[in-house]
Amino acid sequence: MTRVVSTSPQRPADVVADCPATPAEQVTRTVAESLAAQREWARSAAADRAAALTAMADAVAGHRRELADLVIREVGKPSTEALGEVSRTVAILRYYAQQCFEPVGETYPRAGGLDFTVRRPHGVAGLITPWNFPLAIPVWKAAPALACGNAVVLKPAPAATGCALRLAELFAPHLPEGLFSVVPGLGDAGAALVGSADVVSFTGSGAVGRTVAVAAAERGVPAQCEMGGLNASIVLPDADPDRAAAQIAAAAMGFAGQKCTATKRILVVGDAANFADALVAKVEALGVGDPADEGVAVGPVIDEAARQRVLAAADGKVLTGGGSPGGDGWFASPTVVTGLGQDAPLNTTEVFGPICTLTGVSTVDEALRMANSGTYGLVTALYSNDLDAALSFVDQCESGMVKVNAPTSGVDFHLPFGGEKESGYGGREQGKAALRFYSSSRTVQLG
């Protein structure tokens, strides 16, 4: 029998989870079996759903240190970020507990009658999630789905299987049996989930995301796919170089650059050499090593293949990094590369690791053109001390999110999240946008 095995990236001999891979036919059965629980859940009072989500939040909060240690061990996330992810997971559950009380429709004027809309759940939400936010991403998909009255079947990335199974254990006492299920598995399990769920949410690579979108469209079910980015930070001449460099270094290299919102391209208008010195100093000041150690900001990448992609991508003039600091795990040194053309692979293809490019340009228009080039469009950051000038460029950014004097990484869970072009497909995630995605609107007319 095929098995799903998750190992620690900083200690590859440490097996975190080892379980049978769920066969495709079992995934389909799990979806079908979830419908009975979903029908009862959808008929439950909003207060009951809110209470369940609140209890789930309390369960996560009560195991904060344990869950953070599991995240550190399984995916190599530095301790500070791991603890932050647990806190964010709690906050997401509490937020959507309150969203259970949101209005579910609108009324319209009509002589002699009543016209109104009401939103209802789709049924079973099939969630396919990555390993880099092993708690927060499953929950920011599952919480709004549950709040709307759906059941959830979660297929986590194999490298985050342990975190997903632990979440299911913590949630089980607070939800009806069969309402929240985890199906550890490989690609065939994910395909089976897309082929049977009533609504699909996916986060992962562009190639797989496009396959998911097509498969869902062929079945006529809603799908949202978040598929990464090649995010640019634009530094204008009047920006504070030290402040901008500190934020960009953290956004590019924190958690070994393994975030879809990580900065991958830095475009400096004017004196690039001066900014390069500031950036290199900030990057080299980041702590690199065992993610459990205090002060470490850059741990390992997720596996050996990921490390090899980072090392192979260090083409051009390397300002810092370009190798591996050694050790037993999958470590790659934080790397800044300059001197590459706009069409160089590192400027056109997302490398999920601690590596970015720095390019000097003459004008803001040129920087915006380069930032908008290519197929991705998730986040753009603009750094300037002139707020009016920065805001005047916001509309020219072809990305789903624009940050002004803030890093590309990070997003607030009460705001819509998603990208343009090949970074995103379907409805936005998080905030109230998620409630709209996980429910459909029905129009009712009373004569």
Residue 429 carries which DSSP code?
B
Mean per-residue pLDDT, 26-36: 97
Within a domain: 417: no
Please check whether residues 190 and 318 belong to one and the same domain: no
Place 227 in a pLDDT band, splitting at 50, 70 and 90.
Answer: very high
Half-sphere exposure in the Cβ direction for 185 (13 Å, CA): 22
Given the residues 226, 350, 422, 429, select the one marked as catalytic: 226
Q: Higher-confidence residue: 332 or 389? A: 332
Please check whether residues 150 and 258 belong to one and the same domain: no
Q: Which amino acid is at 365?
A: D
Please check whether residues 317 and 209 belong to one and the same domain: no
Given the residues 100, 163, 260, 397, select the one marked as catalytic: 260
> Over pLDDT 70: what percentage of the chain?
100
Rounded Cα distance, 158 and 170, in Å? 19
Predicted confidence at residue 1, as pLDDT, reads: 80
Q: 141 and 222 in contact (C-beta within 8 Å)?
A: no
pLDDT of 112 higher than 90: no
- Domain count for the chain: 2
Predicted confidence at residue 325, as pLDDT, reads: 87
Q: How do beta strands 296-298 and 287-288 pair? A: parallel
The domain of 252 spans: 231-404
Distance set, CA 316 to CA 142, 231, 232, 233, 257 (Å): 43, 19, 18, 20, 19
pLDDT of 187 higher than 90: yes
Please check whether residues 218 and 173 belong to one and the same domain: yes
Please check whether residues 391 and 313 belong to one and the same domain: yes
Averaged pLDDT score across all residues of the chain: 96
Within a domain: 409: no
Q: 333 and 288 in contact (C-beta within 8 Å)?
A: yes
226 is catalytic: yes
What are residue 283's phi and psi, to 5 degrees? -65, -45
Q: What is the CATH number of the domain that holds 335?
A: 3.40.309.10
Q: Which two structure tokens, joined as six digits, stand for 259?
A: 């975030």
Please check whether residues 197 and 237 belong to one and the same domain: no
Predicted confidence at residue 426, as pLDDT, reads: 94
Which runs of consecutive H residues, i.e. helices, occur in 230-380?
Answer: 241-253, 272-284, 304-313, 345-348, 364-372
Residue 22 carries which DSSP code?
P
pLDDT of 389 higher than 90: no
User: Left, alpha or beta for 404 (phi > 0: left; psi -120 to 50: alpha)?
Assistant: beta
The C-alpha angle 298, 302, 305, rounded to 5 degrees, equals 120
Q: 115 and 107 in contact (C-beta within 8 Å)?
A: yes
Rounded Cα distance, 160 and 291, in Å? 16
Please check whether residues 254 and 209 belong to one and the same domain: no
What are residue 136's phi and psi, to 5 degrees? -65, -45
Please tell me whether residue 12 adopts helix, strand or coil conformation: coil
Q: What is the CATH number of the domain that holds 37?
A: 3.40.605.10
Please check whether residues 249 and 200 belong to one and the same domain: no
